[in-house]
Amino acid sequence: MKHLSIIVLALFLVMLCAGVAMGMPNSPIAQDIDTWYSIEDEKPFFSGGFSSAPDASSSSFTGEYYQNDFFFLTGFYADDVGSMSMVTGSYIFDSGFFVALVIENYTGATYYTLSPGYCRAWDEGGYLAFSLDYDSEYGVEGLDVDLKYRADALLIRGELYIDEDFDYYGIEASLAFRVGEELTIGGEIELEDGSLDDLEVGATWKPGSWVFDLRVDEDYDYDLNCVYYFGAFGLGLEYNGDLYSLKAKYDTGDSRFTMFFRPEQDWVLMNYELSFTMFF
């Protein structure tokens, strides 16, 4: 009963609050093959990745450096339709003021978004942050509000965006609650001008050497994930709509190597992703 009361209260907070700016670049998350719901913070890391999609004649490269939600740098390049490259990053000063930047180049045209702001840190890694978005093409675009709240076995994140004319707002919020040592439940919600745009609920269950993930949306469509670990090596399968993905991971705790394979056209073509992450 106590756990149920905490979950109800948390859902109420999610509906009232919101967090990291929708216009400001979100902090990266190290690539993994399981654990869709967790209350654990991401450790500082450096990672790189490559993906290839023969059915679309495209490939992409990524690189990420992450210290915390307001101090990170990422790079991305893709050659699917023309070429596209993007650099996103954020730096926070000791005073709590930060500046975030997105630079995007698509088929020779370059755009950028600058987001200066202020972050008020709380205990347990929580914070409340505000920033303004300035776009190189459209000027001031709006206000972003970022919330992260942690209490015992609960983690809430939220994002609120209000445009420059105050006639549009969007909210994204997520919740994760650890029920026990093996089970974490969670969900995500997206609202646009008060209307529901997306809703997902799910769970991560870790009995022994197994990891099971489940996610269900507002239309009752579901995604399933299952991974079994042989020590540091994991092998799994994910079902997402009509698509299946084969996965593998080698994780020493200080470093992680992941592989995704997605068959297309009756297994004739194979899309794949490779990534390496080093934690420090």
Q: Give 47-51 contacts, CB < 8 A, sequence gap 24+.
A: 47/275, 47/276, 47/277, 47/278, 48/275, 48/276, 49/273, 49/274, 49/275, 49/276, 50/273, 50/274, 50/275, 51/271, 51/272, 51/273, 51/274
Distance between CA atoms of 192 and 199, rounded to whole angstroms? 12
**What is the dotted CATH code of the domain comprising 2-279?**
2.40.160
Q: Convert the pLDDT of each residue in 165-179 to its tens digit.
A: 888 899 999 999 999
Q: Convert the pLDDT of each residue in 27-55 to its tens digit.
A: 666 668 899 999 988 889 999 999 887 66
User: Helical H runs in the chain?
Assistant: 2-16
Q: Convert the pLDDT of each residue in 206-264 to its tens digit.
A: 999 999 999 999 999 999 999 999 999 999 999 987 788 899 999 998 999 999 888 76
| 75 or 54, which is more confident | 75
Extract the tokens encoding 209: 């050497």
Could you state, in order of their start, the residue ranges of all structural domains in the chain? 2-279
DSSP single-letter state for residue 8: H
